[in-house]
Amino acid sequence: MTTSTETVSAAEHIFETAQTPVQRLRSILHRYPALSPAIVLLVSIIVFGMLNERFLLPGNLSLITQQVAIVGTVALAQTLIILTAGIDLSVGTAMVLASMVMAVMATENGVSAPVALLIGLTVGLMTGLINGMLVTKLRLPPFIVTLGTYSIFLALTLLYSKGSTVRGTDMPALMTWTGKSFPVAGVNVSYGVVIMFLLYVIMAWVLTTTAWGRHVYAVGDDPEAARLAGVRTTWVLRSVYISAGAIIAIAAWLQMGRSSAASPNAGADLNLDSITAVVIGGTSLFGGRGTVWGTLLGALIVGVFRNGLSLAGLDVLYQTLAVGILVIVAVSLDQWIRKAR
């Protein structure tokens, strides 16, 4: 309600008093949720750059983007699911399953490389479809569903590949093409990084300019309100899981290029790392709030911290410690920003 002109109550008086700088900052951060991870990224780049001059070398920056590409792509899929108030614990094993199918098809089954990629992509879609159907048909919490499919996809991967790694040198060139890079103004940019970035551009555009995008947010916000408003919530949820599956399959291709191999033991940390990137990027685990750009920044922050601390000569354990602290700080900051008016 607007304040009436004749009387101003004590509370209304507070609304009308000028905001302190801290309050104003909080309002701005509230309105632009990707701003706080952007500031954190900028500050950490400056700090690590001052700590070690090698950090800002083009070669090192290129390395960071390549290290971030896979977790960044998987985190994009994770963002979609978390926006609908879900969570996907199976992203890592789904990606490994897709990459093993691609690699084994192309090497042992003699399928041509583009077809092997397409089959792997279909497998990725299927993992998403399975998760989506279980979440919508059986109405089980996504946490439980994907905890189960995490093990199922892992077992399928080991059964299918018999536990052996396929080396990149045995694969057709297309399978590891994403690891190749081209120079842009002295910095080597890998095709994998370009693909990841394109996926972010497409997803950001779809989420902000289409009805489907609105519906993803509405379903995550309040599924019952969305359903009663006429949103086909079941269809929205299924399409989100299927899209996530497709993105994960593309991540599988990036993974083969990056490590020049397809290993059934890769990607064990991807589940939690992708959730970490989403959370640091300011997306709410309760759904309905967040942006994909925040997630990209979140993934970059983790990459910068790991790389910077390693250049500073610290043990890998300290990197993990730092990432843990980052998550707690990010969520606390998010809680504080939410109180803005």
Kind and range of the H or E run holding 261: strand 261-262
- Looking at the Cβ atoms of 288 and 308, the one nearer to other proteins is 288
Given 47, 56, 211, 328, the residue binding other proteins (CB under 8 A)? 211
Which residue, 164 or 208, is less far from other proteins as judged by CB?
208
Of positions 100, 218, 266, 302, contacts other proteins by CB under 8 A: 218
**What sign does the dihedral 237-247-166-119 (CA atoms) show?**
positive
Structure tokens at 294: 């925040």
CB-wise, 128 or 288, nearer to other proteins?
A: 288
Q: Which stretch of DSSP H or E encloses residue 188?
A: strand 187-190
Please report how close the Cβ of residue 79 comes to other proteins at its closest, in angstroms. Answer: 15
Q: Binding to other proteins by residue 5, rule CB under 8 A?
A: no
Q: Smallest gap, in angstroms, from Cβ of residue 218 to other proteins?
A: 4
Partnered with residue 262 across adjacent β-strands are 166
Instruction: Write the interaction track for other proteins spanning residues 226-245; mark x where CB under 8 A is met and - where it is not.
Output: xxxxxxx-------------
Strand partners, 184: 187
Cα 27–Cα 276–Cα 285 angle in degrees, nearest 5: 55
**d(Cα 142, Cα 237) in Å, to the nearest integer?**
11
What does each C-alpha distance from 246 to 23, 78, 93, 118, 336 come to in angstroms? 41, 12, 14, 10, 35
Q: Where are the alpha helices (DSSP H) in 19-137?
A: 21-31, 35-51, 58-83, 91-107, 113-137
Contact at 8 Å (CB) between 233 and 223?
Answer: yes
Exposure of 159 by Cβ count < 10 A (0-12 exposed, 13-18 middle, 19+ buried)? exposed
Residue 14 near other proteins by CB under 8 A = no
Which of 157, 167, 164 lies closest to 259 in space, CA to CA?
167
Q: What minimum distance in Å lies between the beta carbon of 140 and other proteins? A: 20
The 269-288 site mask, x for binding other proteins (CB under 8 A), equals -------------------x
Kindly state whether residue 267 participates in binding other proteins, applying the rule CB under 8 A. no
Q: Report how many residues bind other proteins under the rule CB under 8 A.
A: 24
Q: Shortest Cβ distance from residue 280 to other proteins (Å)?
A: 20
Output 34 or 248, the one with its CB closest to other proteins: 34
**Residue selected from 212, 285, 318, 319 as contacting other proteins according to rule CB under 8 A:** 212
Q: Which is nearer to other proteins, 289 or 306 (CB)?
A: 289
Only segment of 138-146, 225-233, 239-247, 309-317 that touches other proteins (CB under 8 A): 225-233
Please identify, among the stretches 7-15, 138-146, 157-165, 206-214, the one whose residues bind other proteins according to the rule CB under 8 A.
206-214
Binders in 155-184 for other proteins, by CB under 8 A: none
Q: Considering only CA atoms, which of 74, 77, 75 is closest in space to residue 242? A: 77
Nearer residue to other proteins within complex by CB, 179 or 288: 288
Among 214, 272, 318, 331, binds other proteins (CB under 8 A): 214
Residue with tokens 């690891």: 179
Q: Which stretch binds other proteins (CB under 8 A): 74-82, 217-225, 271-279, 313-321?
A: 217-225
